[in-house]
Amino acid sequence: MGFVGYDVNRYTPRQMMVVPAVILLLSLALLGFNMASFGMPVRPGIDFSGGTAVTLFTPDSAEQIRAAFSAYPLLSVGEGVNNGKYLKFGPMDDASLQALATDIGVRYPDAKIDQIGASFGETLQQQALIALIISFVGMTIVVFIAFRSFVPAGAVVLSAFADIAMTAAGMSLVGIELSLATVAGLLMLIGYSVDSDILLTMRVLKRQGKLEEKLAGAFRTGIIMTTTTIVAITAMWVVALVGQITVVWEIATVLLIGLIVDMMNTWLTNAGIIKWYVQKRGGK
């Protein structure tokens, strides 16, 4: 059922919703496993778990750097332009941190060291969670006020929730950690998800005409909008990958996963619910 040859009017509501439902259940199972393992739905980065970030410029390879700091909890070595390196270390006690600072000062005198304490990381976790909750609750209130009907509004909210859950699961699968940057990507995704879902719902419920014609018209417009956005984000993803701009690459990756997932949830889950709702009302 590829979207290239997908006909929104060809399938019954039950057929449209079964695949997204299975993927959502698998995503929630993965996020639940992550909660049991890490205490968060997605593995936290040093922004939330605490640790030490080191920025330096050296021709040394990533393997040489890992060997040099093998005595410390080195999590990753990111590479940027002009021989730039970005090192992430896990939480350490004060003695280990001082020893690390000394070793870095001897090997790379111009290096920049940033430390995030565990307690500060927990504070950032709480603030990021509050931001996500406020965004989702605000979106829910606006949607229910706009439609004043439980089923259409609930379909929009469900699709947005599925977008976030599936995107978070996708982040886990590709190894992207939860950080301030990726949380910003998830917040942007909430806005885009609601936009595409409201486009569909408004076209079907507020316009006159046959259900099949309204669904087909909304589908054409929505796919063009989403495809255009995916092309733009893909360009940003490629530039960030070539330029080794890690933060931009992570945000672009989150948005790409989310946009692809949103296409499925909008034109299968939400469209299926709206189609069932209109048919149950006798096409009105």
User: Domain limits of the chain?
Assistant: 13-45+119-280, 51-116
pTM comes to 0.82
pLDDT single digits (tens) 66-96: 888 888 888 888 777 677 788 888 888 788 8
Question: What pLDDT, in 10s, does the model give residues 221-242?
Answer: 888 888 999 999 999 999 888 8
169, 31 Cβ separation under 8 angstroms: yes
The predicted pLDDT at position 1 comes to 41
pLDDT of residue 116: 75
Say if CB 91 and CB 49 are below 8 A apart. yes
Determine the pLDDT at residue 75: 82
* Segments in the chain below pLDDT 70: 1-5, 81, 117-121, 282-284
- Which CATH number describes the domain made up of 13-45+119-280? 1.20.1640.10
- 51-116 fold: Alpha-Beta Plaits (3.30.70)
Q: How many CB atoms lie within 10 A of CB 97?
A: 16
Whether the domain at 13-45+119-280 and the domain at 51-116 fall into the same CATH topology = no
